[in-house]
A and B are shown apart, each in its own frame.
Chain A
Amino acid sequence: MRDSIFHRSTNLLLLLSATAFHHSPLAAATVPARAFFEQHCTDCHDAETKRGGLDLTALSFQPENAGNFASWVKVFDRVSAGEMPPKQKARPTAADLEKFLSTMQPVLLEAEQKRTAAQGRAKQRRLNGYEYENALRDLLSAPWLQVKGQFPDDGEASRFNKLGDALDVSHVHMARYISAADYAMREVLSVQWSQPPTSTKRYYARDQRTLTTKTLQTDLSKPPGDRSTFLVLGTKAQPPGAKLKSLTVGDADPVLREEEAVGWIASNYVTGFRYRWDGFRAPVAGRYRIRFSGSTVWVEPGKNSKTAEQKTDEKREPITVGRTQEPITVYTRNALMNRRVGGFDLTPEPAVHDLGETWLLANETLVPDPSRFFRSRPPGWKNPLMTPEGGPGVAFRWMEVEGPLYDQTTTAGYKLLFGDLPLTQVEGSAPGVLINLVDSKTSRPKGGEPAEPLSEVSVDVVSQDPGKDADRLMRTFLARAYRRPVAENDVQRFLQLVAQRRAAGLSFAESMFAGYTAVLASPGFIFLDEKPGKLDDPALATRLALFLWNSTPDKTLRTHAERGELHQPAVLRAETERLLADAKSHRFQEAFLDYWLDLRKMEASTPSTTLYNDYYLDDALAEAALAETQLYFHEMIQRDLPARCVVDSDFTFLNERLALHYGIPGVQGIAMRRVALPPDSPRGGLMTQASVLKVTANGTTTSPVLRGKWILERILGFEIPPPPPVAAVEPDIRGAVTIRQQLEKHRDNESCAACHRKMDPPGFALESFDVMGAWRDRYRGVADNKPAVKGIGKNGHAFEFHYGLPVDSAGELPDGRPFKDIRDFKRLVRADEVSLARNLARQLTVYATGAPVRFGDRAEIENILQRASVSHYGLRTLIHELIQSPLFLNK
């Protein structure tokens, strides 16, 4: 069925004719094509030899049993691919083979269809962590909500977190459904309760305690050290060599105040986040607009040997106009977590930089981080950017916050929970719901408390007629929370709970919370409701929303489902377009890439401090690498780019840091943008993106086997069975032997070679890229007998490594066609468009339907491909065709 460079062996006519010898008979009389097996297979696959662990003479034929069925499919596939019988054995005649395949296939298909009719392809499943979080966000109009982390990691099957078999429910899940729902609703009450007026306020750098205490240097005869700040006025030091009475002129002189800045030369040492704006803490979760004012400066090296080894001309100004443009990443800090919320380029000319609107959580503070600067790690650090002529620094004047910005969604969550009923404070020990509030008067206690503590208020909702209100509110809530029409006995079930808790002495709000919590932890909410056969419209709407939004259906989608028109191809197509056009479709793209390409594992390895200290702590690079892949995939969907773009393209997405990494000139600034690649560039396509190259390496070494297998399974679409228990090749960085030479021995072994022939070639081609995806001609190693390459890392520590043996990235495809490097390799695989498209279609099918691609699904995948071929298998087209196919429309 599959014909590609990695399985180009179904050319039946060329096979030699076979001669029959003695063979063991099959035990199971019901096996179709018995004669074929006995003639060609049981010589090796019998009880005695049991080659590859397979004894066909003992294998029963019970295709209604899933495990047994899978075994026979494997047999069918190996024979149909021409891999069995193996080359050195007698081969069946073309006619025999044809007969075998045409006998076997319908029997297997029929058996599977029978099973599908009774069960459906997909197993019933619960929402995964991503979906549950998004569903809560959308239901409660709380897009800032973060609860995914509260759940144990979801299980994976067929590589995704979407399959029922792997999505278990434990008592921990139950406990966390309860606590997450309770937490989310209390957050909604906090928003409703607080509602501080929208304001635009400036927070001057000179007023920030964290920017001005302890390490502030007013004596600039010494240069600023790491983690210290200094005063800048305009673009000069202030005041040189003397102490100021007050750090700021304050309101007395607005013109001068505008020039007052605080400067520094290091990046944030993360535990401290010294350079944060502690004067502002988001008073409530919501939307804010953030601006920063400042400039870059140029800082003299001074006499301090820690910042530069060279001596300084003391007559020069300690601080002068900046000579660089510095990328600034803005993080939030909230207790112990930091989120990236944006970035901008700080210029030598003082300017105001608008981050735009961003969601902040209650109590979050903001931290602008110059990402090129070093983060010192004692002892004996040096500033890698410091030169005899000085080095770069930043000088910030103020941060301005506009917000919280309100619209009709701000209080929509509360409206859903309690309608127009008023929220009131509870006095004394009366029962109420405890909510957390930001108290601007509290400050960080000494001893390094991670964040300013929140205050607590006990609140309740006032109802004149609790019974009636509960009834009305619960009905509205259930109708929105459940994804299909709500049964009356369910309404009563939850109302009973509310009434019972009220009787037990809980307040109105607490009792309603108990009811709502139960709804959000009930099977009706957390489980998908799909019945075998054709999905009804509500189930279809849910499947579509979970696919493209990673969330539950919105009002429009529900309306289509209620009217029973969603399954109409035109409506379904229009809804697919609408969902893809919505910003919420980013959730699909991110979640899909997190699993398909393992992007969630971007931080699972550290660059070795021995070999790759130049990547250590380089968050800006890792962030840009991740962004490149996400934006690239987004572009493929937006522009319906052909499937071959998975392996090659003439463009990609870069910012300055990533372009530098790739050696592509002319890209300046922190913003990611689409860039046309030079004609001979090895970049373009997913395989050669830094993110993919990072997640397929371990931080110290690369393995052609592991990378090759990964590429084969993710990009080219072939599964490789797990290896037999043989010793793995041990990485050796001493520089005398390359991984390739070590592998040669491995590949000499015929039983190893069968898989390695397929697995290693992509890995060999990618040997030209190091652990972070930079191009390399030579391996790095630690050979002492060679001159060292020296540098200072972002941790301020000196490092050195040696260039070792040259990289050889040549190889040959399993069909024998040679390639000399990655460019060549890409050219070869790019030509096989349909294979690349087939893989994409299969990966999307698993993700969208929550079921693996099964034997009987293959024909449907081919139909999808057939219909998408006009667009050269454009990604958007593939998505549409999948959604219109029986695979998607049936359970």
Chain B
Amino acid sequence: MKSFLPTAPAVGCFISTQRAISRRQFLRGTGIALSLPLLDSMRPAFAKEVTSGPAAKPRRMFAICNNLGLLTDQFFPTGTGRDYTLSPYLEELKAHRNDFSVFSGVSHPNVDGGHPADVCFLTAAPHPGSSSFRNTISLDQHIAEQIGVLTRFPSLTLAVNTRARSLSWTGIGVAIPPEDKAAEVFKQLFFQGSPAQVAAQMRKLDTGRSILDTVSGQAKELQRSVPAHDRDRLEQYFTSVRDLERRLQASRGWEEKPKPVVKAPMPVDPNDPAEYMEKVKIMYDLARLAFETDSTRAITLMLEGVSSPVLDIPGEKITDGYHNLSHHGKSEAKRAQLQIIDRWHMKLLGNLIADLKAMPEGDATLLDRTMVLYGSNFGDANAHTCFNLPTILAGGGFKHGQHLAFDKQRNYPLPNLYVSMLQRMGIETDQFASSTGTMRGLEMV
């Protein structure tokens, strides 16, 4: 905790230093798999690792946060369970009715504060608005820590119209800066690094392994003199060293392997933030491509509307800034424009689901193995409230086609859905952030 005891000079003890991660570092970190800084994002292995190979079914997650939310009266359906009636917005997803579940009456406990809460969408860390807020690990990074070594990229952190607001947070509460240029990510995914870059990365991994060799040498010697009762502590140390060695080895393997070749052309990023919807579409395509090539199993995408300008949507007339529209103050004129935007969100999501469904993978489709989470930090952006969050989960191997309705007054914890998703990923855990269990009513296929 913070210190109030008289010290001179006072050392603020309550907050960890956040080493600002520069773009270069970021690219080094995520671009080249699992360099040492990225080991930061590893946490205790509660999980039994999903082994790679033909027998293992890859499980994936794509989490999208639209940080201005959706008009609730247009989004939430009526009726519950399987016989619910599609809402105006969900009509846009009609073709996929059995491929997704819609949730109401859910939110993150103690996550308040309005706009700042978008960074908690995947972390559920309490009180993003308080002056000593500190974020915690996000769902995708938790996944990356457990199974990140199975793919070239432990995770991808993407955004539209921001290079700052991130959904991905490491175990030490540091944001992974999102990439908002699809072309850059495309290069990282599919272009070979220069031999010098690869060599430097290999040297780094080898240094890590040499360090581990050295410390385990000492541990081995110590083991002789440690009393029997304490030996298990040292054993645990050994196991940890071996675990990490294995991970470094896997990373080294990725460095040696050539990157996948794809037919798709390199995406062209629009320069104008007004082309928000086009950017969303490009990011969705990129995510699909990354999954298709099994380049990663966890992707996050922040759709930043707060600082977006008046949107330029083909064939539509929008006259007010997106953020302003979200504060519609119940003005019908503003709500009408907002509905156009919201419906585009739903349309693009529908296209994403359709594309994933069209892509076969073994005896199933890409959608069957890919959980697509779509939601927001806002229940109601007009009122700046963070409860009753509009939430959709599509694909990924759950029994969908239902409206899981919870108490609108006393919300059901959304982190429970994240526990279900982790378990679906094959990660053995029964907790995430403020969860109280798994998502009630949501069953795996």
> Given the complex of chains A and B, what is the CA–CA distance between A587 and B10 in angstroms?
12
Taking the complex as formed, is A505 at the interface, i.e. its CB lies under 8 A from any CB of chain B? yes
Residue of B nearest to A448 (CB): B164
Residue of A nearest to B382 (CB): A379
> Which of B10, B228, B327, B329 counts the most A-chain CB atoms under 10 A from its CB?
B10
A855 CB, min distance to chain B CBs, angstroms: 17
Chain B binder among A121-129, A719-727, A825-833 = A121-129
Q: Decide: B9 and A287 in contact? CB cutoff 8 A.
A: yes
A358-B10, A445-B163, A449-B163 are known contacts. Are A270 and B130 too (CB-CB below 8 A)? Answer: yes
A523 touches B110 (CB 8 A): no
Contact B44–A170 (Cβ < 8 Å): yes
Alpha-carbon distance A367/B219, docked complex (angstroms): 47
Chain B's nearest CB lies how many Å from the CB of A315? 33
**Chain B proximity mask over A466-497: 1 for CB below 8 Å, otherwise 0:** 00000000000000000000000110011011
Q: Mark B183-215, 1 if CB is under 8 A from A, else 0.
A: 000000000000010000001001110111111
CA distance A375 to B384 in the complex (A): 14
Complex CA gap A138/B4 in Å reads 20
> Is B420 interfacial (CB-CB < 8 Å)?
no
The chain B residue sitting closest to A167, CB to CB, is B233
Residues on the A chain within 8 Å of B215, using CB: 518, 521-523
Among residues of A, the one whose C-beta sits closest to the C-beta of B220 is A523
Q: Which of A290-338 contact B (CB under 8 A)?
A: 331-332, 334-338
Q: Which of A50-58, A601-609, A837-845, A880-888 contacts B (4 or more CB under 8 A)?
A: A601-609
Contact of A447 with B162 in the complex, beta carbons under 8 Å: yes
From A123, A377, A626, contact of B2 by CB (8 A): A626
Which residues of chain A from 447 to 466 have a CB within 8 Å of any chain B CB?
447-451, 453-454, 456
Binds A, one of B241-249, B255-263, B314-322, B391-399: B241-249
Judge whether B45 and A171 touch: CB under 8 Å. yes
CA A460 to CA B160, docked complex, whole Å? 39
Q: Please name all residues of chain A whose beta carbon is closer than 8 Å to the beta carbon of B217 when the two chains form the complex.
A: 493
Say which one of B50-58, B168-176, B279-287 lies at the interface with A: B168-176
Complex alpha-carbon distance, A506 and B133, angstroms: 40
Q: How distant is the Cα of A144 from the Cα of B128 in the complex, in angstroms?
A: 25
Which residues of chain A (671-700) have a CB below 8 Å from chain B?
672
Partner of B4, one of A164, A170, A594, A631: A631
Kindly state the separation between the CA atoms of A514 and B207 in the bound complex, as whole angstroms: 7
Question: Is the C-beta of A8 less than 8 angstroms from some C-beta in chain B?
Answer: no
Residues of A within 8 A of B17 (CB): 145-147, 149, 334, 337, 361
**Chain B, Cβ-Cβ closest to A629:** B4
With contact pairs A590-B13, A631-B5 given, residues A174 and B229 touching in the complex (Cβ less than 8 Å): no
Given contacts A342-B10, A494-B214, A605-B110, contact A448 B162 (CB under 8 A): yes
Q: Which of B88-141 contact A (CB under 8 A)?
A: 110, 112-116, 126-135
Cβ-defined contact, B175 with A336, below 8 A: yes
Contact, CB under 8 Å: B203 / A590: no
Q: Is A257 among interface residues, defined by CB-CB distance under 8 A?
A: no
- What's the least CB distance linking B391 to chain A, in Å? 22
Contact, CB under 8 Å: B20 / A619: no
Residues of B within 8 A of A169 (CB): 233, 236-237, 240
A289: nearest residue on chain B (CB-CB)? B9
The distance from the CB of B269 to the nearest CB of chain A, in whole angstroms, is 14
How many angstroms from the CA of A179 to the CA of B170 in the assembled complex? 13
Residue B342, interface by CB 8 Å: no
Candidates A149, A178, A447, A449; contact of B211 at CB < 8 Å: A178
Confirm or deny: A139 has a beta carbon within 8 angstroms of a beta carbon on chain B: no
Partner of A617, one of B42, B130, B243: B130
Contact of A449 among B10, B164, B174, B244 (CB under 8 A): B164
B8 lies within 8 A of chain A by Cβ: yes
List of B residues within 8 angstroms of A590 by Cβ: 1, 3, 5, 13
Number of A-B contacts (CB under 8 A): 292
Q: Is A586 an interface residue (CB 8 A)?
A: yes
Query: A876 CB to closest chain B CB, in angstroms?
Result: 16
Asked whether A172 and B171 contact (CB < 8 A) given A359-B11, A447-B307, A506-B203, the answer is yes
Contact between chains at A490 and B218 (CB < 8 Å)? yes
Distance in Å from the Cβ of B153 to the closest Cβ of chain A? 18
Q: A174-B241, A336-B175, A340-B132 are in contact. Are A454 and B20 (CB under 8 A)?
A: yes
Question: What's the minimum C-beta distance from B84 to chain A, rounded to whole angstroms?
Answer: 29
* Residues of chain B contacted by A341 (CB below 8 angstroms): 10, 12
A766 to B32, CA, bound (A): 57
Q: Tell whether A175 is near chain B: CB-to-CB under 8 Å.
A: yes
Query: Which of chain A's residues 530-572 have a Cβ closer than 8 Å to chain B?
Result: 531-532
CA distance A341 to B207 in the complex (A): 38
Known: A505-B203, A532-B227. A634 touches B164 (CB 8 A): no
A69 to chain B: closest CB distance in Å?
14
Q: Complex Cα distance A501/B211, Å?
A: 10
Alpha-carbon separation in the docked complex, A530 to B329 (Å): 67
B210, A501: Cβ atoms under 8 Å?
yes
Contact with B along A343-369 (1 / 0, CB 8 A): 000000000000011110101000001
A848 at the interface (CB under 8 A from B): no
A518-B215, A605-B110, A623-B4 given; 13 more Cβ-contact pairs under 8 Å = A123-B233, A124-B226, A149-B134, A337-B134, A340-B132, A341-B10, A453-B22, A496-B214, A506-B207, A517-B211, A604-B126, A617-B129, A634-B5
Q: Residues of A with Cβ closer than 8 Å to B?
A: 118-120, 123-126, 143-150, 152, 164, 168-176, 178-179, 182-183, 268-271, 287, 331-332, 334-342, 356-359, 361, 363, 369, 375, 377-379, 429, 431, 436, 445, 447-451, 453-454, 456, 489-490, 493-494, 496-497, 500-501, 504-506, 510, 514, 517-518, 521-524, 527, 531-532, 583, 586-587, 589-590, 593-594, 599-600, 602-606, 609, 617, 619, 623, 626-627, 630-631, 634, 672
26 contacts across the A-B interface (CB closer than 8 A): A118-B229, A120-B227, A124-B233, A146-B16, A150-B171, A170-B44, A170-B243, A179-B37, A270-B133, A336-B174, A338-B15, A339-B15, A340-B2, A431-B203, A447-B162, A448-B164, A453-B20, A453-B22, A456-B25, A506-B203, A521-B215, A586-B5, A602-B1, A603-B130, A626-B1, A630-B5
| CB-CB nearest 5 A-B residue pairs | A149-B16, A627-B4, A171-B243, A124-B230, A175-B39
